[in-house]
Structure 1
Amino acid sequence: MAGGCAVEGGCPSDYIAIAISTISMILLLSRLILPFVVHKIPRSKGSGFWIPTVQVFASFNLLLSILLSINFLKFKKRHWWQSCYLWAVWIEGPFGFGLLLSCRIAQAFQLYYIFVKRCLPPIRSYVFLPLILLPWIAGAAFMHIRKPLNYRCHMGFQWIIPVVSLHTLSIIALVGFTGAIRHIDFRFDELRDLWHGILVLASSIGVWVAAYILNEIHDDISWLQVASRFLLLVMAGILVSTLFSLSSSQPLLSQISLRRREPLEFETMGKALGIPDSGLLLQLEPTAAINPSEPLDKLLLDKRFRQSFIAFADSCLAGENVHFYDEVHELGKIPLEDPVRRIYMARHIIEKYIKAGATMEVNISHRSRQEILTTSNLADPDLFRNALNELIQLMKTNLAKDYWSSMFFLKFKEETSMRSNDHDLEQMTGWNYSPRLSSVHGVDDPFHQEHFPKGSGYNSFD
């Protein structure tokens, strides 16, 4: 029988493993929080934020449960809160590994419906996640009733098969959803992140089973006890770091650098998707005169006018309607033959403007909102048409009348006039005048010189 720190905990390798898992947890928190802190990005209220948050919570539970259930730390006496069934069964099972894996299944489920079925998932994430967590809760309750754990929080051999089977079935479900979306040309590494997670999950279960068997068979070898639990905690740290991903829930956020000095490479989804001229104003763009009597929807097609109108609307704290128009306009630039990019953009617009509680929720009718949320084709070119018509009418009634008498319009007129004058000047000075040809030829022309190549045999002094 092993003794000393191998049984009681507190070996040097134990503290090294704790340090590694702590670093993993800190890195995990930084990946979740820093994009919002560094770049002041508004936090979404949907599953795009809370699923990654639950992943971090589950990761913390998993690491802490392994730490407290396998005697990494040496305690002088045992306390009630060190119960094996609290940490090794409930926290490590349903609210640790099970919850972590269920979050990834929920994300893969969302990707399957959005990109393969081309519609929003029929079950909300906050309903789907508890449903797939039910087998884990039932298993933990059954173990708590039967109490198969010994004083070292180890279970008998007869329990290893059902426990491993539950883990394996969850991974098979994740593999199934991932395999169903493998043909999609994702733009933000969603598929790669899922496969990496599956690989590490399978490796983690293999390490866990091997460590369990070695601990049970060779419980008299001290170094084996220490090494197996060290490997178990380090592997768990690698698992939580690899399994966490923002690409599935918030693809645009996953591309943002965490360094403050680096500018945002992709400020908008349009830029991230490579939509032509997304967010750009070229200096050589033709400048057209704006006639206030023209329909607003026609005027908004002019990019310079649209940006001026957006600035005015933002100053009135009513910019969400114009921003919505701008992003729907960007969506229209994506060819119909590219449904994946269209779905990315449509999903982004729905998350940002359409869903209840969205960061820039627009004021549209319930019918138009439900028409979008229950669509059977997210790549439909007319998906936002009714909502857009409603908002244009709303802007005509509210914003447009005030805009024509605002300083924003006066500034826009002045800039348009200056650009128009500069453009005319460029045209005048840009003529390609050909050099004047002299009517005097030969020796009568004092400026006429002929240059002959060397060795031509011509002597200019003859």
Structure 2
Amino acid sequence: MASCAADGGCPTDYMAVSISLLAIILLLMRSTWPFLIHKVPRPKGSSFWLPAIQVFASFNLLLSIVMSLNFLKFKRRHWWQSCYIWAVWVEGPLGFGLLLSCRVVQAFHLYNIFVRRRLPPIRSYIFLPLILLPWIGGAAFIHIKKPLNYRCHMTTQWTIPVVCLHALYVAALVGFTWAIHHIEFRFHELKDLWRGILVSTSSIGIWVVAYILNEIHDDIEWLQVATRFLLLSMASIFVLAFFSISSSQPLVSQMSLRKKECQEFGSMGRALGISDPGLLLPRESAPVIDPNEPLDKLLLNKRFRQSFMAFADSCLAGESVHFYEEAHELNKVPVDDSVRRVYMARHIIDKYIVAGATKEVNISHRSRQEILTTSDLAHPDLFKNALNELVQLMKMNLAKDYWSSMFFLQFKESNTRTIDHELEQPAVWNFSPRLSSVRGDDDPFHQEHPSKDRGHSSYNLDLR
């Protein structure tokens, strides 16, 4: 016991290392599972690199504890085994500090978006290094003063400030979370964030007690072995719980390991429970499409919009119509339902407005900045100017070619058949329970695909 307490290699040390290896494996599985198994598309921006940095920081934290506290029996012969590299820099700024800073950034985003109802005033790649500055400054100060002994331990006068720095970041995370506790989230952001804080705070509490005892009482051998085991095992539980209980983005249920939450949503509107706009109800008649009517009025019709969108996609210019579709869904949300409006607005901004977005639309710099610097993400006219610009652009670039395309001819034929079918069999809409709602994915040309819908087979026979 005396030898392994000082040099490492106790049975409890190997048990703790095994727990940390298992935690890292589970963490890697949890982070890659949605992309490999559920085929979730990789998000861009901070939605991807913040969780990736959390995995990196978690690995650094566990590895630094193993290397600095001699869990494995080895002698420090090389510069890269220095206590100041592992116990100061890797464990501090690159480990615990980086891990907590990523969560503070996420909570800061939620606070700005749902409480202040505006985009964060500072980008994540700028805000994260700013939060890390106290850790970097503290690590540099310790490195200059050289207070560590040969076993990488500090005295009491150094241990207390280090523990206070850890507690400061936990308090900042709790503070931002408490500021948004009154928001009625549509997904699991707040609940998961609180759950993560409770689990991680419990493990951090035990970890801090073990850290203080391990640093101060380095002359008690059994205490060194016990606290060393607690330090690594609690850190393993902490990093796994902290990452697995996510609080990042809407549609987080798609990335869940629980089968009951693994759902597919065709759009953000469906995920938020927004009714599909512009669909023909059973008792409604299909409107006659007049090419002489303004395009913005024609686009209000769901069937026409789907046909026009298919034509625009074939021309590799469909982002404007997709933007119109989702902005139209946003208008279906009541003005007083600010939470759903904020969710939808942020989704549209991330997908169509920000520079480098997956479907970035061609709007003026003035309209783009007007949206990105808005003081109210729930404002009903947030995308009004952008929509007007895009409708004018579609009139000049797409509308003229659409009227002479096969897409319009197919749509016109499909629309005519629908009207004739309604005139011939009006009772079907009133009495058939199977036609009380729109079918399937609402394909505007479903009349041409009888194999997909047996309900149209008798209609096709009548045409023959």
* TM class by smaller structure: 0.7 to 0.9
Structure 2 portions without partners, runs of 5+: 432-464
Whether the 8 Å contact between 1:112 and 1:180 is mirrored in structure 2 is: yes
Instruction: Provide the residue aligned with 1:270 in structure 2.
Output: 269
Whether the 8 Å contact between 2:27 and 2:243 is mirrored in structure 1 is: yes
Does 2:50 correspond to 1:58? no
Does 2:189 correspond to 1:167? no
Q: CA deviation at 1:271?
A: 1.4
Instruction: Provide the residue aligned with 2:417 in structure 1.
Output: 418
TM-score between the two structures when normalised by the length of structure 1? 0.85
- 2:89 & 2:358 partners in 1: Cα distance? 36
Structure 1 portions without partners, runs of 5+: 433-462
Whether the 8 Å contact between 1:38 and 1:258 is mirrored in structure 2 is: no
> Secondary structure at 1:244's aligned position in 2?
helix
Decide whether aligned partners of structure 1 residues 278 and 166 sit closer, same or farther in structure 2, where only a CA change above 3 A counts.
farther
Whether the 8 Å contact between 1:35 and 1:253 is mirrored in structure 2 is: no
Does 2:239 correspond to 1:244? no
Instruction: Provide the residue aligned with 2:318 in structure 1.
Output: 319
Instruction: Provide the residue aligned with 1:185 in structure 2.
Output: 184
- 2:37 & 2:308 partners in 1: Cα distance? 28
The one-letter code sitting in structure 2 at the alignment partner of 1:409 is: F
- 1:13 & 1:287 partners in 2: Cα distance? 74
> Secondary structure at 2:93's aligned position in 1?
helix
Q: CA deviation at 1:100?
A: 0.9
Q: Which moved more, 1:212-221 or 1:326-335?
A: 212-221
Q: CA deviation at 1:291?
A: 2.0
Instruction: Provide the residue aligned with 1:437 in structure 2.
Output: none
Instruction: Provide the residue aligned with 1:69 in structure 2.
Output: 68
Does 2:100 correspond to 1:101? yes
Alignment of 1:153-164 (within 5 A): 153-164=152-163
Decide whether aligned partners of structure 1 residues 307 and 38 sit closer, same or farther in structure 2, where only a CA change above 3 A counts.
farther
- 2:381 & 2:429 partners in 1: Cα distance? 44
Whether the 8 Å contact between 1:273 and 1:341 is mirrored in structure 2 is: yes
Whether the 8 Å contact between 2:189 and 2:248 is mirrored in structure 1 is: no
Whether the 8 Å contact between 1:196 and 1:242 is mirrored in structure 2 is: no
Q: Which moved more, 1:201-210 or 1:332-341?
A: 201-210
Alignment of 1:320-339 (within 5 A): 320-339=319-338
TM-score between the two structures when normalised by the length of structure 2? 0.85
Q: CA deviation at 1:242?
A: 2.4
> Secondary structure at 1:56's aligned position in 2?
helix
Instruction: Provide the residue aligned with 2:17 in structure 1.
Output: 18
- 1:21 & 1:381 partners in 2: Cα distance? 50
Instruction: Provide the residue aligned with 2:141 in structure 1.
Output: 142
Alignment of 1:186-265 (within 5 A): 186-215=185-214, 219=218, 224-244=223-243, 248-257=247-256, 264-265=263-264
> Secondary structure at 2:2's aligned position in 1?
coil
Q: CA deviation at 1:72?
A: 2.0
Instruction: Provide the residue aligned with 2:48 in structure 1.
Output: 49
- 1:220 & 1:348 partners in 2: Cα distance? 57
- 2:201 & 2:428 partners in 1: Cα distance? 70
- 1:207 & 1:429 partners in 2: Cα distance? 68
Whether the 8 Å contact between 1:61 and 1:96 is mirrored in structure 2 is: yes
Instruction: Provide the residue aligned with 1:371 in structure 2.
Output: 370
Does 2:323 correspond to 1:287? no
Q: CA deviation at 1:425?
A: 3.5
Higher RCO (CA-CA < 8 Å; seq separation 6+): 1
- 1:263 & 1:419 partners in 2: Cα distance? 36
Q: Which moved more, 1:118-127 or 1:262-271?
A: 262-271
> Secondary structure at 1:74's aligned position in 2?
coil
Decide whether aligned partners of structure 1 residues 230 and 422 sit closer, same or farther in structure 2, where only a CA change above 3 A counts.
farther
What are the superposed Cα offsets for residues 65-86 of structure 1, whole Å, 9 maximum, x if unpaired? 1121122223366432111111
- 2:141 & 2:363 partners in 1: Cα distance? 49
- 2:316 & 2:248 partners in 1: Cα distance? 28
Instruction: Provide the residue aligned with 1:79 in structure 2.
Output: 78
Instruction: Provide the residue aligned with 2:461 in structure 1.
Output: none
Decide whether aligned partners of structure 1 residues 38 and 315 sit closer, same or farther in structure 2, where only a CA change above 3 A counts.
farther
Decide whether aligned partners of structure 1 residues 57 and 49 sit closer, same or farther in structure 2, where only a CA change above 3 A counts.
same
Whether the 8 Å contact between 1:321 and 1:395 is mirrored in structure 2 is: yes
- 2:391 & 2:132 partners in 1: Cα distance? 45
- 2:428 & 2:183 partners in 1: Cα distance? 52
- 1:9 & 1:285 partners in 2: Cα distance? 78
Whether the 8 Å contact between 1:52 and 1:246 is mirrored in structure 2 is: no
Whether the 8 Å contact between 2:253 and 2:262 is mirrored in structure 1 is: no
Kindly tell me the number of residue pairs found equivalent between the two proteins.
431
Whether the 8 Å contact between 2:60 and 2:95 is mirrored in structure 1 is: yes
Q: CA deviation at 1:355?
A: 0.7
Whether the 8 Å contact between 1:247 and 1:254 is mirrored in structure 2 is: no
Q: CA deviation at 1:281?
A: 7.7
- 1:281 & 1:231 partners in 2: Cα distance? 63
Q: CA deviation at 1:144?
A: 0.6
- 1:29 & 1:395 partners in 2: Cα distance? 45
Between Structure 1 and Structure 2, the one with more helix by share is 2
Instruction: Provide the residue aligned with 1:404 in structure 2.
Output: 403
- 1:346 & 1:245 partners in 2: Cα distance? 27
Q: CA deviation at 1:175?
A: 1.7
Q: CA deviation at 1:416?
A: 2.3
Q: Which moved more, 1:287-296 or 1:127-136?
A: 287-296
Whether the 8 Å contact between 1:42 and 1:359 is mirrored in structure 2 is: no
- 2:110 & 2:100 partners in 1: Cα distance? 16
**RMSD of aligned residue pairs (Cα, Å):** 2.8
Quick check: which has more Rg, 1 or 2? Answer: 1
What are the superposed Cα offsets for residues 126-163 of structure 1, whole Å, 9 maximum, x if unpaired? 11111111111111011111111122211111111101
Q: Which moved more, 1:218-227 or 1:151-160?
A: 218-227
- 2:356 & 2:397 partners in 1: Cα distance? 23
The one-letter code sitting in structure 2 at the alignment partner of 1:162 is: P
Decide whether aligned partners of structure 1 residues 223 and 424 sit closer, same or farther in structure 2, where only a CA change above 3 A counts.
farther
> Secondary structure at 1:241's aligned position in 2?
helix
- 1:429 & 1:187 partners in 2: Cα distance? 38
Q: CA deviation at 1:114?
A: 1.1
Q: CA deviation at 1:184?
A: 0.8
Q: CA deviation at 1:421?
A: 3.3
Q: CA deviation at 1:308?
A: 2.1
Q: Which moved more, 1:27-36 or 1:386-395?
A: 27-36
Decide whether aligned partners of structure 1 residues 53 and 147 sit closer, same or farther in structure 2, where only a CA change above 3 A counts.
same
What are the superposed Cα offsets for residues 160-179 of structure 1, whole Å, 9 maximum, x if unpaired? 11011111111222222111
Whether the 8 Å contact between 1:44 and 1:358 is mirrored in structure 2 is: no
- 2:429 & 2:378 partners in 1: Cα distance? 45
